[in-house]
Structure formats: structure tokens, C-alpha cells
Amino acid sequence: MLSRDAVRRLELFDFESLAADHRLLTYDQRGHGHSTGRPVAEDYRFENFARDLLALLDELGDDRPMDFAGSSLGCDNALRAALAAPDRFRRLALLIPPVAWESGPGQAKQWYFDTADDIEELGAGAWRQQLANADPLPIFAEYPKFDLSPDVVDELLPSILRGVGMSDLPAPEEIATLPHPTLILAWDTDPLHPVSTAERLHDLIPDSTLHVAKSVADIKSWTGRIADFFAS
């Protein structure tokens, strides 16, 4: 539920540095940041975000294969768009892939539905305050700038959460057909972005490299890792 501005405030990444060797394009997903949306859960299924990415590329009118870095929801954008239009992508960087392919009771994705219910019951303001007072992920326990405050207007929060909760990454057998060199970056101790998803993607994608961060300092190395990967 973050935007370009919210990611910059974390001071973990410096994607602008990639512009030294690339034309850099950043954008806010539908319903996030400066992008508008409707309070309709189906609008926020992963498939629609991937269509937005391809439509944005059409609007730019640049047919050169692009390098794409996406985090969380952006990982699905990368995978789904590259499967639909493989010639439009050169290399992929997948940051903190989301929980995926769950089955049975006790699924981590239930958090999205429970949280949507909480927002509607408590009110968005009270829920935001509750989130602000919650303990950070263990890996960020000593990092004062860690802030996952949603950059989404209150009226869209439940719909976005439910749309994401209804979604999943592409089927493993589809992902296994991707020919693109892929860098996979995960951080530890995050149940909604578990290392297990990153490891499974690494197993599936033939030309992939995996790095798991155990500290904030390690996460701050990701910009350089991506820059080096895209330069090769």
C-alpha cells in the first residue's frame, strides 16, 4: 500500500541512481499515491495491475526491452507482464515477493481480509493509529525510519486489501517458462513477504539469482545489487 513517495521516505532504496545508465520510469499503482481508483475490490486483483503496466508502456511508445524492478505487488507485475509480453522485458528484479500459492487453513493472506474488516469496523483513522503503534518487523526493530503507513486514501483501503487478498502469483508452471535473467531479493521475518516465496521463485526461474537480507544494512545494498545486475 505504499507509493513512490512513501518508498523514498523509508530511505532504504535509491532507485534514482539507476538513471545513470537507464531512462528511469517510476509510477504509482492504481489507487496508490497520486493514481486514482474506485472502491471496487475486483479492480485491485493482481491481473489488473499488470495490465496497467503494459498499458503504460504502450502510452510511452518505447518498444525497447526494459529492465523492471518491482517490490511486493510489483513482483507480480513483473512476472505477469513478462509472461504476457516477453519481448518487452530484458531483466527483472523482484524485491520482497509476496506470500503465494497457499492452501489449507491458517493462510497468511487472511490478514488482508481481516484488516479490511477492521478498517470498516474501527474507522480508517483509528486503524491507522493502531498500525502506527504496532511493533515493526523484527528486521527493522532498530530502524527508526521504518514506516509502512499506507499512501492510499481511506475510502479505497478495504477494497485494495480485499483485491490483493483475492490474488495470487502466476502458476508455478507458467513462471518456469520465463527466459529473463532475474534477481530475487528478500528480507527476513516478514510473514506477508516470506523467504519461502523467494526461494520457490528461485527454484522455478531458470536464470535467477537469490539474495536474502538479514539486516537493514544488507537491504541498503540492494540498490547497488540491482544497478550491477541491470548493467550486465
Q: What is the pLDDT of residue 32?
A: 98
Distance CA 21, CA 157 (A): 36
* 145-194 pLDDT tens trace: 999 999 999 999 999 999 999 999 999 999 999 999 999 999 999 999 99
- 30: domain CATH number is 3.40.50.1820
Distance CA 150, CA 118 (A): 15
* 105-131 pLDDT tens trace: 999 999 999 999 999 999 999 999 999
Number of domains present in the structure of the chain:
1
* 31-72 pLDDT tens trace: 999 999 999 999 999 999 999 999 999 999 988 999 999 999
How would you label 89-120 residue by residue, b for 16+ Cβ within 10 Å and e otherwise?
A: bebbbbbbbbbbeeeeeeeebeebbebbebbe
Residue 201: which domain range? 4-231
